[in-house]
Amino acid sequence: MKKITSTILLSLSITGGVFTSCDIDRFPNNYMATDQVADNQEVLFDNMLNGMYAQLKTWSDPMHRLGEYAGDNMMIRGASTDAFYEFITYSRTPDNYRLQNFWDYGYKAIAQASNIINMAKETDDPEIKSKLGECYYVRGMMYFYLCRAFGRPYYQAPDKNLGVPIVNGTPSEEEISNLSLPDRSTVKDTYQQAINDLRTAESLITTSFKSADYASKEAAQAMLSRVYLYMSGTYENPNTEYADSARYYADLIINSPQFRLVSREDYMKSARTAPENYPEAIFVIKRLATDFPGFDYYYGIGGMYSNIGGMGWGEMYASAKYIELLDETKRNDWRKGDEGIVDARAKFIEPQYITDDNGKYTEVLRFITPNTAGTGYTYVQLPVNEGRTECWTVDENNKPKDRYPISLYSGRTPEEEYYTINYNGATYTGVIDYKMALNNGYPMFYITKCSREDNLESQLHSPIISRLDEMYLNRAEAYVKLGQLENARIDVNEIRKRAINEQATYDSNTFSANAAELVDKERQLELAYQAERSYDVFRNGGTLTRQYPGPHPTSDVLATDYRVTYYIPQTAINSYPNGSTLTQNPTSDEGVILH
């Protein structure tokens, strides 16, 4: 194995600071010096590989927040001083520590992967070459994730818009004293770097699939399917070459004996299942209970979505828009437990019902109205009588005040218990349900897709990077862009049949009339809370619409908006060495290049 001739350090000035001579002697965890590596290369190679995977753990937290909070699957109970609130409100600023963490951790993973590649690239050992393939996978994945956050959607002039800097390795001690770093490459070149790395990973990894905890040939193929899908243009103006490549790589995974779609029952348990035991898992960022000592569970991904085992803030809930999608086929009635779950994906939502002083539930009519300020929406839940003929407001002593007649809503079946009400001069439709706990006036629809891994009553969760269900949806979208609507319908129906039932599948006429919309809807339902939604909207030229309760702005966000891309962290720009430039993203729509 090739010797390392410079100190192995896992940060660049690109991640926020240039090393000084004083820094060189203090090695954090997973850092090592030349003499350590030279004397123990065979042993330390695996340690360095483990260090690379460890970088992904810290990276996965801001990765999730950037991707999911900017979408329409969730809402937050109120304004927050936390830096992630900017992701929700689209009030972009370059001075955001969570944005900086995403950048730093991403480039640290790139640096560590590159250092291992540079150390061992001359080896002929098949086992070592497979492990090198794992490094290429991680590096390619990082470039893709960084570029989709900081670069424009691929269909918008990828040869002109900027992606991220391509820096494959840390500088030597000699280079640090006269360091020069490249500016951002184009979106096109950044995607090509990701593809080159992922294809190299695909060719180098010859060991059999072990588990989703580790990069594999299949993980590289799954990521290539997604990368090409991002490059496949919009439904109105598709790039059929890239769409076919997305289909090709999805085919490889779907036809692989390593993975299979699980039953509806097992899918509903997927959040509780360790990824190594879940047949759809291709690659995850594996977390262990030991990663969360003390109160650290509060700060995990699931900690904002729920309180499990006494841990978690529980301040973000499923959006009314997402719940409406879940209820589209038939209402999910959580009062009945699993028997009331119509769409299996509703299993990951847990309404927080409350009881009165006698331990009994109170039935209410819950509906949504414009808020009093006229700037958004709010929930209303009013007690309802046993005969379902009226509901009422209550005074400060919880005594009935104003009464309102209600009637069954004709657009749904009676057993679903949808009712209409004329309230404050307007007619609304809502559902009869148990009274829910409120947080700042919002019913607490806990999200538990990111909690309870391995059946623990905690916020343990291994963030999902690739699973088999995504491959069916990748292929379905690719088929639509290729004009093969019947093939797309078959793939979408595979997911719907598992999630709901055979009756929920689409016939040819229904699907062909709305193919793009139905594929996107199924993708939103299936991949919710996996950090995909906001990117999925914009890469296809869509508009993010959030007309539902929450403190977020309710104005639409178009794919052409300058705020679709995050700002390059200002600390990264400031830390670039003299003579090097790191270009910022446009600060207004006038700076956006679309063609």
Which among 298, 589, 317 is positioned nearest to 440, based on CA atoms? 317
Predicted confidence (pLDDT) per residue in 440-493, tens digit? 999 999 999 999 999 999 999 999 999 999 999 999 999 999 999 999 999 999
| Cα–Cα distance, 245 to 88 (Å, whole number) | 33
| Cα–Cα distance, 564 to 66 (Å, whole number) | 11
Classify the C-alpha dihedral 38-43-48-49 as positive or negative: positive
What tens-digit pLDDT sequence spans the chain (595 residues)? Answer: 333 323 233 334 445 443 333 332 333 344 444 455 445 556 677 888 999 999 999 999 999 999 999 999 999 999 999 999 999 999 999 999 999 999 999 999 999 999 999 888 677 888 889 999 999 999 999 999 999 999 999 999 999 999 999 999 776 666 666 678 899 999 999 999 999 999 999 999 999 999 999 999 999 999 999 999 999 999 999 999 999 999 999 999 999 999 999 999 999 999 999 999 999 999 999 999 998 887 788 889 999 999 998 999 999 999 999 999 999 999 999 999 999 999 999 999 999 999 999 999 999 999 999 998 888 999 999 999 999 999 999 988 888 899 999 999 999 999 999 999 999 999 999 999 999 999 999 999 999 999 999 999 999 999 999 999 999 999 999 999 999 999 999 999 999 999 999 999 999 999 999 999 999 999 999 999 999 999 999 999 999 999 999 999 999 999 999 999 999 999 999 999 888 999 999 999 999 999 9
What is the DSSP code (8-state) at residue 78?
S
Which among 440, 447, 431, 453 is positioned nearest to 352, based on CA atoms? 447
| Cα–Cα distance, 385 to 383 (Å, whole number) | 7
Q: Structure pTM?
A: 0.93
Q: Which two tokens stand for residue 554?
A: 């309710």
Which among 28, 179, 203, 11 is positioned nearest to 107, based on CA atoms? 11
Residue with tokens 């629809």: 445
| Cα–Cα distance, 528 to 467 (Å, whole number) | 13
| Cα–Cα distance, 473 to 451 (Å, whole number) | 24
| Cα–Cα distance, 67 to 536 (Å, whole number) | 10
| Cα–Cα distance, 514 to 520 (Å, whole number) | 10
